[in-house]
Chains A and B, each alone.
Chain A
């Protein structure tokens, strides 16, 4: 696991390491109490990898993701994205896909996808062209004029992914994007995501509660402990790509899933 052996003095070129987290800790104030939320997080994510973070509810994994997106500050340690700190959101470096229903209900599907571009004053024609391209990438060609309430849960998350990718950021952060979907849709969406990922070669950091989803999607899985969140395991998923549904029935898949489960269970 070359990715884990990086240290400060031998930093890899930014083109190779997409995200680097060193000794990151976070303490937040609740009333007059200081609550440690994250403790000594170390992660080194090579460009183009699919990283999944799993952990119990409230372990701070969403906070960590928000920090990677520049949406939240951390108390101590270093967080570098493409070799530079990310104190405020930078959509050209990082795209975010949120949990369910984060599309703007007053905008059509295309306008939702164009939203990040329109904030930066990209000309209308180019916006439309790029949004249309994203729409067909996520398999929703022809749905551009629909409003979010006219789409199914899975379709909404496809639009969310398209919106996250429209600025072509090298890193895509995903916060439990399929948690609200039913099991079948969730499996299909996981598969779709892998297809999109393989055609765009993005670095993905994906948060989930589902161990099956974690093993199915990931190159590497980071397991976090309950609060204060620490990395308690880092597992390389050696299953070949492209992943298939049949792999879920194999021993390797079962053993990997079991190892994550044991880590989470014993950390409680």
Chain B
């Protein structure tokens, strides 16, 4: 009952925002050049999805996002787990990791352009670079969430090292790891977008940046809607999984 009411309020708010988006530019309360009415944006969006160059841009961006993610997640997870498990390496590298983590990664983008040229390599490289740090930090936290008592208990029942990994570490870390996956995808997506908007010839980020420069506001908003939809869909999928796997965490 309570939840139903909450959903109802949320839907009402959404309808209100969309309604205002349609009405305010139409009655001239907001400059329609800056905020085109929702129906115009929707028409543009439909038209854009049918265009070959937009479809290609979506395909390019998707491939970049997936590639960067596929590089950053195993790399960051392996490095993070190694730093958390190996006291010696941890002592040396953990403080350095915190220093580097605090630096805004976008200032390294020009270096990636110089190293890879403008294109796939530069965008994937930059996004993977920013994401690796996030995954590393979270993976370290995930390992540290495994309490020593659990391992001692498992050992007392004769668990082998492999059993300790599969029966203790994995289930204990799984909710944190999924959370890592979700958050690192946000960083990963942002990385690709920044790289595309900064210097690129293809991709959704490049199109959005162009539309902005040419004052094509309906296209710009349509692009924002496409990207938001993709990002929210991924985030919610992982979050569902996270809630199911982590039900035991009170």
Contact = CB atoms under 8 A, between A and B. Distances in A.
Interface in B203-250: 247-250
Interface stretch (A46-54, A76-84, A100-108): A100-108
A96 interface: yes
A104 B249 CA distance: 11
A90 B158 contact: yes
A64 to B, nearest CB: 15
Interface in A133-185: 147-149, 167
Interface in B143-184: 149-150, 152-159, 163, 167-168, 171-172
Given A119-B163, A149-B248, A91 B158 contact: yes
Contacts of A88: 158
Interface residues of A, number: 23
A98 B163 CA distance: 20
Interface string A24-51: 0000000000000000000000000000
Contacts of A104: 150, 153, 168, 171-172
Contact of A119 (B149, B167, B249, B250): B167
B150 A120 contact: no
A119 B248 CA distance: 21
| Size bracket, chain B contacts | 10 to 19
B149 A106 contact: no
A71 B152 CA distance: 8
A84 to B, nearest CB: 15
Contacts of B153: 96, 98, 102, 104
Contacts of A69: 156
A40 B5 CA distance: 70
A204 B212 CA distance: 76
Given A71-B152, A101-B149, A91 B157 contact: yes
Interface of A: 69, 71, 88-91, 96, 98, 101-102, 104-107, 115-116, 118-120, 147-149, 167
Please list the 3 inter-chain residue pairs (A to B) with the smallest Cβ-Cβ separation, ordered nearest first.
A116-B157, A96-B156, A106-B248
17 contacts: A69-B156, A96-B153, A96-B156, A98-B153, A101-B149, A102-B153, A104-B150, A105-B248, A105-B249, A106-B248, A115-B154, A115-B157, A116-B157, A118-B167, A119-B158, A149-B248, A167-B157
